Amino acid sequence: MQGLDRSNRVENALITPVILCGGSGTRLWPASRQSLPKQFVPLLGEETLFQKAVQLAADTDFAQPPLILTGEAFRFIVKEQLESIDQSASAILIEPEARNTAPAVLLAALHLRARDPAALMLVLPSDQMIGDPAAFRAAVAAACDEARAGTLVTFGIDPARPDTGFGYLELADTNARMATRPQPLLRFVEKPDLATATAMLATGRYLWNAGIFLFSVASIIAAFRTHAPDILAAVEAAHARPEDDLGFTRFDHSAWARTPGISVDYAIMEKASNLAVMPYGAGWVDLGDWARVWMESAKDATGTVCAGAVTAIDCSGSLLRSESSDLHVVGFGLHDMLVVATGDAVLVAPRALSPRVGEVVARLRQDSVAQAAVSTRELRPWGWFERIAHGDHFQVKRILVQPGASMSLQSHEHRAEHWVIVAGTATVTVDEERRQLQANQSIYIPARSRHRLENEGDAPIMLIEVQTGAYLGEDDIVRYQDQYARAQS
């Protein structure tokens, strides 16, 4: 970012990064689904967007490791992805249910208030990438004085092109687009059509709205008190009853349910008068749909992106992506197309329709198609499983159990199971019998038998599970003991 002193450090300002990672990205289906949304999927490179956000926040300029807000379904994914990059969180707060960004931001502020109401919080979405972390931290440092003085600072991105996928921020000064200090904000602008976006950029007064904010804990709570007292009352009631659970913090569900689902932009920013914009122009990427993934990926001479097990023949301007090593995608004579394949679903669409993929997911949900929300691989606190085959009265799964992890002590009313150990050493309990099984050994588990598998070793266990019975749904489970405190019956 031109003119910004990258040596400028955050002096005398306690900043806590707050990472929001409870949402889902339907426009990146089928790789992103409700059970594993885009922030936890490696879309560019080996690290996920969530992991990149954590690494951005891992800097000595900040007061402590990031505060993370996520949903019940993702709490162990968050923990696992933190550990895999050797990072930690100051706390992981569990939103009782998704209510958009306004309640989440306020919950984080109330949590931080007990430590220091004058402290600053830097709100970071988990589905973006910052190209130059050093320049971004310098921009944060440059905005600290305004935030400490009570201003709500939003970050605006220097627009690379007219784009209909972003909201915009209008500056008061036409010469302020590349300023190195926070600038006055005239207004927020909703996502425009292409002609309007082109005309706006020609004025030099507009920045993309990044959804990144810096403000003091006291200032944002005061803003909710003025502009959204109903949200403040509900979130305060939920926050008043915290509960520690295996290193996560839960809150009262009934009080939280009274909060409306609304963004912090709508609830606060578009109403507040104490606003400023910190321009930032050193590289920012919002991977909101497959067209943006194509845009940010390395391309061949024809402008085609190939990822995974794919072959492109006479293609141009296209994205070919396979998420499964067992499914080879071949594109032949495709121009400006998207082909994204997973183990259980394939998306084929013109690249220009990428922003409308969310409509596809809505249609699949309307038709009760399971692939709309759930993928073949499902994550669990102890590891993961994926469906290999299924039919009438049978299902086959491949299961991985991490070192030190354990399935719950459980039983099934309607199905029997047969476990075959492929790798590792498993400690298996079936009713009163407890034994160790190694690779190439197996055990049969009758319906209604209490059973559990534990990994007491230092290597993952891989096993094949064959289920047989009249009903094979995931809800046919009775838990008696569970080290992850999931619901017991």
Among residues 444, 389, 401, 403, the alpha carbon closest in space to that of 420 is found at 444
The pLDDT value given to residue 7: 38
Apex CA 195: angle with CA 167 and CA 335, to 5°?
A: 90
Question: Percent helix, strand and coil across the chain, each rounded to 5?
Answer: 25, 35, 40
For residue 273, being part of any structural domain is answered with yes
Question: How many helices and strands in the chain, by DSSP H and E?
Answer: 11, 30
Looking at the fold, whether 280 and 296 belong to one and the same domain comes out as no
For residue 486, being part of any structural domain is answered with no
For residue 132, being part of any structural domain is answered with yes
Looking at the fold, whether 237 and 362 belong to one and the same domain comes out as no
Looking at the fold, whether 245 and 323 belong to one and the same domain comes out as no
Among residues 28, 94, 127, the alpha carbon closest in space to that of 375 is found at 28
Question: What is the model's pTM?
Answer: 0.86
Domain end point (choices 314, 342, 366): 366
For residue 7, being part of any structural domain is answered with no
Domain end point (choices 335, 366, 397): 366
Among residues 258, 203, 270, the alpha carbon closest in space to that of 231 is found at 258
The CATH number linked to 185 is: 3.90.550.10
Looking at the fold, whether 147 and 129 belong to one and the same domain comes out as yes
| Residue 23 banded pLDDT, cuts 50, 70, 90 | confident
**Separation of alpha carbons 327 and 307, rounded Å:** 12
The pLDDT value given to residue 249: 92
**Separation of alpha carbons 12 and 145, rounded Å:** 10
Longest dimension (CA), the chain: 76
Question: Residue 5 burial by CB count (10 A; 0-12/13-18/19+): exposed, middle or buried?
Answer: exposed
Among residues 308, 411, 287, the alpha carbon closest in space to that of 32 is found at 287
Domain assignment of residue 426, given as a range: 377-481
The set of residues, in sequence order, having a beta carbon less than 8 Å from that of 373 and lying 6+ positions away, is 33, 34, 35, 365
Residue 207's DSSP bridge partners are: 169
Looking at the fold, whether 61 and 188 belong to one and the same domain comes out as yes
Looking at the fold, whether 230 and 335 belong to one and the same domain comes out as no
For residue 10, being part of any structural domain is answered with no
Q: Classify 220 as helix, strand or coil.
A: helix
For residue 390, being part of any structural domain is answered with yes
The set of residues, in sequence order, having a beta carbon less than 8 Å from that of 392 and lying 6+ positions away, is none
Looking at the fold, whether 156 and 260 belong to one and the same domain comes out as yes
Q: What is the pLDDT of residues 157-173, one digit of tens each?
A: 999 899 888 899 999 88
Give, in order, the Cα–Cα distances in Å from 411 to each of 234, 247, 387, 446.
Answer: 39, 27, 20, 9
The pLDDT value given to residue 8: 40
**Separation of alpha carbons 346 and 266, rounded Å:** 35
| Residue 22 banded pLDDT, cuts 50, 70, 90 | confident
Helix 229-239 and helix 217-227, axial crossing angle in degrees, nearest 10: 120
pLDDT over 50 at 4, yes or no: no
Residue 350's DSSP bridge partners are: 337
Looking at the fold, whether 154 and 225 belong to one and the same domain comes out as yes
Domain end point (choices 301, 335, 366): 366
Please give the share of the chain, as a percent, with pLDDT higher than 70: 96
For residue 372, being part of any structural domain is answered with no
**Separation of alpha carbons 275 and 149, rounded Å:** 11
Among residues 3, 130, 153, 105, the alpha carbon closest in space to that of 54 is found at 130
For residue 248, being part of any structural domain is answered with yes
Average the pLDDT over 231-237 and give the result: 96
Looking at the fold, whether 263 and 299 belong to one and the same domain comes out as no
The pLDDT value given to residue 483: 85
The CATH number linked to 406 is: 2.60.120.10
Looking at the fold, whether 198 and 343 belong to one and the same domain comes out as no
Q: Structural domain tally of the chain?
A: 3
The set of residues, in sequence order, having a beta carbon less than 8 Å from that of 87 and lying 6+ positions away, is 51, 54, 55, 58, 65
**Separation of alpha carbons 244 and 228, rounded Å:** 28
Looking at the fold, whether 180 and 301 belong to one and the same domain comes out as no
pLDDT over 80 at 24, yes or no: no
Looking at the fold, whether 114 and 241 belong to one and the same domain comes out as yes
